[in-house]
Amino acid sequence: MGLTSTTVLVIAISVALLLLAATVVWWPRLARPSWQAVLGRIGALLTTQIAVLCAIGLAANNYFAFYSSWDDLLGTGDPGPVSVQAAVDGLPAAAPPVVKAHLLGKEPVQGGTGGPEQTGEIHAVRITGSHSGLSTDAYVYLPPQYFQPAHAQKHFPAAVVMTGFPGDAKNLITRLNYPSAALQLMQAGKMQPTVLVLMRPSPAMPADTECEDIPGGAQSETYFTKDVPKVISASYRVSAAAAGWGVVGNSTGGYCAVKMAMRHPEVFPTAVALSGYYKAAEDATTGDLFKGSQQRRNEADLMWRLNNLPQPKISVLLAGPQAGDGGYKPGTEAFQKAVKAPMTANTAWVPQGGHNFRTWSQLLPPSLEWLSQHLTAAA
């Protein structure tokens, strides 16, 4: 049984309730002044509290999707192989073949009625990168028009959408519900049909790579900027032009979205960040991202890039709360103020909100509408 399965949660809650009831029933017998009774009371309290904490922890994990599996929780899973492409005779190695996305399953769009031609369809896929050697699971939302005969030859704009860390890509369906939000906007004529690729911001879990190419380690930036677009383009009818591609994310995903657009405008000229930050995190989950290189650390600092490097021709939307999320507003205003042509930065605000799904759900519809206005559909 999986860590996030309903069965595991029901069992945990049932065990906690049974232990609580047993403690209440047996407590009079444990009230005696003997040392055996004292040990019994200690054991009953500890066992009951541990069971209750486990049930609460499982419920919280199912709600926020901090960990998606037992391997993810224990750090025992295989994060995917890392490969280094060597040069031959002083020349770059030949480009590796592109592997199509491996289809794991299909599911309908929440809240939609009708088949794929009316609501679109969600594909669970495995995306394996031939350049980075990394591999991770994702979800691909295909809009209704993708299945309609009138659009059988059309290539659609696409956007890579990333969660925060450690998040699960499933969060983007169960908590933020990107497919349903996009469908409602398309039905209202506020968003053009767009393919959404829903992912985690780290293809090397349980490490938080901050979308960096780590020297001697996981090449996450290469994975997102080379492998993912190529695999999706080989697997689905999406735009071959950069103008048809964007990248979106919340929290860590928002930082990654803006950073990848700034570093790779030829891949993602449009980016949306929901409560994103502007400097790579460095903590126990990231490890040593830069291997002692201050230059690499600087280049991962988005404010440093604005102030010290030529600004790319990209459009970004920075969305978040005006109050309630620490220093998000002043940091975002400072970033926007430092932006100069040809780069543009717009902002979207809610008056009050935390660093959470409720805030991002409010910001999602206008963010997707803005994104759609900046993506160019293929002919």
The CATH number for 238's domain is 3.40.50.1820
Q: Which of 64, 87, 110 is the last residue of a domain?
A: 64
What pLDDT band is residue 166 in, cutting at 50, 70 and 90? confident
Question: Is the domain of 57 the same as that of 115?
Answer: no
DSSP H helical ranges for 65-129 = 70-74, 116-119
Q: Region 244-259: what's the mean pLDDT?
A: 97
What tokens does 70 get?
A: 């037992």
What tokens does 361 get?
A: 């759900």
pLDDT tens sequence across 75-89: 554 444 333 333 334
Q: Region 36-53: what's the mean pLDDT?
A: 84
Residue 135: the pLDDT is 95
Question: Is the domain of 50 the same as that of 108?
Answer: no
In a domain, 80, yes or no: no
- DSSP class per residue in 201-237: S-SSTTS--TT-B-TTS-BHHHIIIIIHHHHHHHHS-
Residue 349 and residue 108: Cα distance in Å, rounded? Answer: 31
Question: Is the domain of 193 the same as that of 57?
Answer: no
pLDDT above 70: residue 362: yes
In a domain, 269, yes or no: yes
Residue 348 and residue 77: Cα distance in Å, rounded? Answer: 38
Q: Which of 22, 38, 64 is the last residue of a domain?
A: 64
In a domain, 77, yes or no: no
Range of the domain at 244: 98-374
In a domain, 87, yes or no: no
Contact (Cβ atoms closer than 8 angstroms) between residue 199 and residue 138: yes
Contact (Cβ atoms closer than 8 angstroms) between residue 162 and residue 256: yes
Nearest 5 degrees, angle CA 84-CA 89-CA 95? 45
Question: Is the domain of 53 the same as that of 137?
Answer: no
Choice among 69-78, 203-212, 228-237, 303-312 with the minimum mean pLDDT:
69-78
**CA 91 and chain centroid, separation:** 36
Question: Is the domain of 122 the same as that of 45?
Answer: no
In a domain, 83, yes or no: no
Can you tell me whether residue 5 is helix, strand or coil? coil
Question: Is the domain of 186 the same as that of 286?
Answer: yes
Ramachandran angles phi, psi of 260, nearest 5°: -70, -35
What tokens does 234 get?
A: 């080989």
pLDDT tens sequence across 113-165: 788 999 999 999 999 999 999 999 999 999 999 999 999 999 999 999 999 99
Question: Is the domain of 212 the same as that of 149?
Answer: yes
Choice among 4-8, 9-13, 96-100, 297-301 with the minimum mean pLDDT:
4-8
Three-state secondary structure readout of 306-365: HHHCCCCCCEEEEEEECCCCCCHHHHHHHHHHHCCCCCEEEEEEECCCCCCHHHHHHHHH
Residue 209 and residue 203: Cα distance in Å, rounded? Answer: 8
- HSE value, Cβ hemisphere, 13 Å, CA-based, for 191: 29
In a domain, 247, yes or no: yes
Question: Is the domain of 11 the same as that of 126?
Answer: no
Residue 89: the pLDDT is 40
Contact (Cβ atoms closer than 8 angstroms) between residue 291 and residue 218: no
pLDDT above 50: residue 317: yes
pLDDT above 50: residue 179: yes
Residue 83 and residue 135: Cα distance in Å, rounded? Answer: 11
Choice among 34-43, 163-172, 208-217 with the minimum mean pLDDT:
34-43
Amino acid at 373: Q
Residue 135 and residue 204: Cα distance in Å, rounded? Answer: 8
Q: In the chain, what percentage of residues exceed pLDDT 90?
A: 66
Give the gyration radius of the chain's Cα atoms: 24
In a domain, 153, yes or no: yes
Q: Which residue has the higher pLDDT, 1 or 217?
A: 217
Report cis status (omega within 30 of 0) of the bond before 116: no
Task: Give the mean pLDDT of the chain.
Answer: 88
Question: Is the domain of 237 the same as that of 307?
Answer: yes
- HSE value, Cβ hemisphere, 13 Å, CA-based, for 157: 23
pLDDT tens sequence across 271-296: 999 999 999 998 888 888 999 899 99
Q: Which of 17, 39, 64 is the last residue of a domain?
A: 64
In a domain, 261, yes or no: yes
Number of domains the chain is built from: 2
Ramachandran angles phi, psi of 318, nearest 5°: -110, 115
Contact (Cβ atoms closer than 8 angstroms) between residue 261 and residue 255: no
Choice among 5-9, 162-166, 170-174 with the minimum mean pLDDT:
5-9
Residue whose C-alpha is closest to residue 28's, from 50, 44, 14, 16: 44
Question: Is the domain of 266 the same as that of 345?
Answer: yes
Question: Is the domain of 184 the same as that of 54?
Answer: no
pLDDT above 80: residue 16: yes
| Number of residues written out for the chain | 379
Report cis status (omega within 30 of 0) of the bond before 144: no
Question: Is the domain of 26 the same as that of 167?
Answer: no
Can you tell me whether residue 158 is helix, strand or coil? strand
